């Protein structure tokens, strides 16, 4: 039996969504869809759904509530920018809120996905404009957002600015030196360099 997935700092939902009773229930079609597209069994899906509905009675996780959660876990930093990028990935239909299906499909990747799955998911976060490649300015935006979120805990460890760090990472991964990173370059760079992977996947890898 698949147990409740571990907490991820990318989305520490196990504290935000508490298991509580709820009158709202998933229908059989929803459960079957989620069983087929995630690694969770029916009991786990229903448990997580109860918690989701307790904290989001209307079934919608809004950007504001998403932000409130991050403020709790990163009190010394400013998580606003990072939250916006993560929210963009969770909200797959781009309707301005996260429903339970979107929530669980994303959590399935960040908590239970393979290393390659997590890297592909992270690539989408760095590819801010969604054109299928990462430019230096996009990587700089995400690295700066990570710096802002972690606050003094990261600046005290590294003398590099976010811009300097992003450029070093980008230059190392851009194997053909064309000024853009493909998904393959991003994946290969992370898989071949554990330290690089840790920097780029803050909160994604367990």
Q: Is 130 left (phi over 0), alpha (psi -120 to 50) or beta?
A: left
* pLDDT at residue number 72: 79
Name residues of the chain where pLDDT drops below 50.
1-23, 205-206
* pLDDT at residue number 5: 43
Taking CA atoms, 60 is separated from 54, 165, 172, 206, in Å, by 11, 36, 40, 26
Whether residue 128 contacts residue 138, with contact meaning beta carbons closer than 8 Å, is answered with yes
Nearest of 125, 118, 86 to residue 102 by alpha carbon = 86
Whether residue 70 contacts residue 83, with contact meaning beta carbons closer than 8 Å, is answered with yes
* pLDDT at residue number 160: 82
């Amino acid at each position: 039996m698949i147990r409740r997935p571990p907490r991820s700092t990318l989305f520490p939902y196990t504290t935000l969504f508490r298991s509580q009773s709820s009158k709202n229930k998933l229908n059989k079609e929803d459960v079957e869809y989620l069983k087929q597209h995630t690694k969770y069994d029916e009991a786990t899906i229903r448990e997580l759904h109860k918690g989701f509905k307790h904290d989001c009675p209307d079934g919608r996780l809004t950007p504001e509530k998403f932000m409130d959660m991050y403020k709790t876990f990163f009190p010394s930093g400013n998580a606003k920018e990072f939250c916006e990028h993560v929210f963009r990935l969770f909200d797959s239909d781009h309707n301005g809120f996260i429903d339970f299906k979107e929530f669980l499909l994303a959590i399935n990747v960040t908590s239970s996905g393979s290393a390659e799955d997590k890297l592909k998911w992270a690539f989408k976060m760095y590819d801010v404009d969604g054109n299928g490649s990462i430019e230096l300015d996009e990587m700089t935006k995400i690295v700066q957002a990570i710096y802002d979120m972690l606050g003094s805990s990261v600046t005290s460890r590294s003398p590099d600015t976010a811009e300097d760090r992003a450029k070093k990472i980008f230059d190392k991964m851009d194997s053909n030196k064309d000024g853009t990173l493909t998904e393959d370059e991003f994946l290969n760079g992370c898989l071949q360099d554990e330290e690089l992977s840790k920097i780029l996947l803050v909160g994604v890898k367990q």
